[in-house]
Chain A
Amino acid sequence: GAGVSQTPSNKVTEKGKYVELRCDPISGHTALYWYRQSLGQGPEFLIYFQGTGAADDSGLPNDRFFAVRPEGSVSTLKIQRTERGDSAVYLCASSLLGTNNEQFFGPGTRLTVL
């Protein structure tokens, strides 16, 4: 079956622009997570959805970051007024139920802000 997919795989944008990153989780997985990973670091938690609702968004760094999952499947991470410091790989993961289960990661979106 299909795994977690993310689009685009690469995104280059200019400082100040708006970007949207999309995640398609494994069908039937109720839990969805967004992380970002910088070189030499582990994935840094951003937000966790259980179904359509954000169960924990405490990892979002500031109000320029927002994520939605309106129908409980596909999720979009939105970044406004991008800054050079936002450059990273943004990873999405899904799991069957919650945090005590194995997470399946997508290939990530490499965001570069010039």
Chain B
Amino acid sequence: RKEVEQDPGPFNVPEGATVAFNCTYSNSASQSFFWYRQDCRKEPKLLMSVYSSGNEDGRFTAQLNRASQYISLLIRDSKLSDSATYLCVAAGGGGSYIPTFGRGTSLIVHP
């Protein structure tokens, strides 16, 4: 069982739609959580960190549920430029330094 699991998709949505991704992690000691965005044949780039209280950055909202060990990402008013793969990361905790990436969720926003 992978330590960080994501639905690979693809999620195919029209412009303007709201779309949500979930990610589950198995290491209950994980301390830090992130969403990265990866465009095709490019390197991952940080989209946002995920805090226990939840956080919002423009059209993007991230939430953490420690009890159920999942992280979510909500994208409102989707743009064509949001089309990418979204990688969930759980890091640290329990003496481990290893950041563990999920396999990514593919989002395709169409006109």
**Chain B associates with chain A:** yes
Mark A residues whose CB is within 8 Å of B. Answer: 33, 35, 40-45, 48, 50, 55-56, 58-59, 91, 98-100, 102-108
Total chain B interface residues with beta-carbon distance under 8 A? 24
> Which A residues are CB-close (under 8 A) to B100?
45
Name 18 interchain pairs, CB-CB below 8 A, sorted by A: A35-B101, A41-B104, A42-B6, A42-B87, A43-B101, A50-B97, A58-B98, A59-B98, A99-B32, A99-B91, A100-B32, A100-B92, A102-B34, A105-B43, A105-B45, A106-B43, A107-B42, A107-B43
Q: CB distance A42 to B102 under 8 Å?
A: yes
> Which A residues are CB-close (under 8 A) to B31?
100
Determine whether B17 belongs to the interface, using a CB cutoff of 8 Å to chain A: no
Bound CA–CA A59/B87 (angstroms): 19
- Chain A's closest residue to B2 (CB) is A42
Q: CB distance A103 to B43 under 8 Å?
A: no
Bound CA–CA A106/B101 (angstroms): 16
Shortest CB-to-CB span from A10 to chain B, Å, is 12
Bound CA–CA A43/B87 (angstroms): 9
